[in-house]
Structures are given as structure tokens and as C-alpha cells.
Amino acid sequence: MTTRAILLLSAFLLLGGCKQDVESISLPEFIQGWTQDQRSDEQVIWDGLVGNWYGSLVREDGSRHQWLNRHYADGTYEVDFQTVSTNGRVSFSRETGQWGAAGGIYFTIFRGWLHGDEFEPSDPSDAFNYDAYRMLKLQSDLVIYESLKTKTRYEARRVPEGFRIPAPDEETGI
């Protein structure tokens, strides 16, 4: 017997001892019988997240954090953040990057800040620029997701094109 044959036989015998229950592995229903005309669940989720989403939460320090996220179909996003501190100070920033969703996970890759027409890139080697969230609920007008890092839960409502983050003394009506 050659050395190669002995190695292959040994590998076969070793792997043969690793039992895999093939019956427990099955393709999701939406993949079985798939045709070119059918859309996958992943595409439905992707399409459901495209659009404008507004959210607001009160942080532990009492400040109010609001965001308006614009998800584009090409996987890019722009998000406006407005934070009102407990002393009434308002801060605003605009960020851009890439977003995606797969396997019940929503994720963002922060690429930089937008200052008017100018783009200030972020450092792609900074791990802080990558976020992942567990999607808890997705409806046509509501998305709820939770940060895998901080466990913070976010809720955002779909808003029409042209919606703006309300001024600190305004109500959203949402």
C-alpha cells in the first residue's frame, strides 16, 4: 500500500468515527424547489429594510438620542444622529457606510462622516466601526433590533422620504 493510500484510509477511518445525523440537516422550505422566479426569505428581509427609519431612545444619563437611517437598496446607508443632553445642548452628526442583513442579523460598517458635501473617512481597522444586531421584529413600518455588543434594544419606525428629525421641542407624531 502506498503512503498516500494509507493516509486516505486513515482519514476515512477517523472521519467515519465522527457521526453526523444527516436526517437532521435539511434545507429551509423556501430553498427546496427554488426557481429563478421565486424570492428568498433573505431578499424579502433585505427589501423590507430598504427605506427611511426613525428611532429615538432615552439613554441612562437622561439624554435623548434620535436617529434617521436611510437604507439604500445597494447596501449603503446614511444616518443622521441628534442628541439632546439633559442641559438642553443639541449635537448633530451624519454618518455613512454599508449595511446588510443575513441569518437574522442586521449589521453596519461605518465608513465615515459627512460634513455637508465633504466626506471624512473612518479608520477601517478600528473594530468600533463594525456593528451587529439581532433582528427581533421586522414589519412594514417597524423594526426592532438588539446590539450583540451592548444588548441595547433599538426600535425604529418607517418614515416617508423627506422626513427630518424633529427639533428638540417638537413631537414626531409617530
**Which CATH number belongs to the domain containing residue 155 in this structure?**
2.40.128.280
Determine the pLDDT at residue 168.
Answer: 85
Determine the pLDDT at residue 174.
Answer: 65
Decide if 63 is inside a domain: yes
57 backbone dihedrals φ, ψ, rounded to 5°: -150, 155
Determine the pLDDT at residue 132.
Answer: 98
Q: Is 89 helix (H, G, I), strand (E, B) or coil?
A: coil
Determine the pLDDT at residue 9.
Answer: 39
Give 140's DSSP letter: S
Q: What is the domain count for the chain?
A: 1
> 160: phi > 0 → left, psi -120 to 50 → alpha, else beta; which?
beta
Decide if 22 is inside a domain: no
Determine the pLDDT at residue 139.
Answer: 92
Decide if 18 is inside a domain: no
82 CB-near residues (< 8 Å, 6+ apart): 65, 66, 67, 90, 91, 92, 165, 168
Determine the pLDDT at residue 3.
Answer: 44
Determine the pLDDT at residue 42.
Answer: 85
Q: Which residues of the chain have pLDDT under 70?
A: 1-39, 171-174
Q: Which domain holds residue 102?
A: 41-159
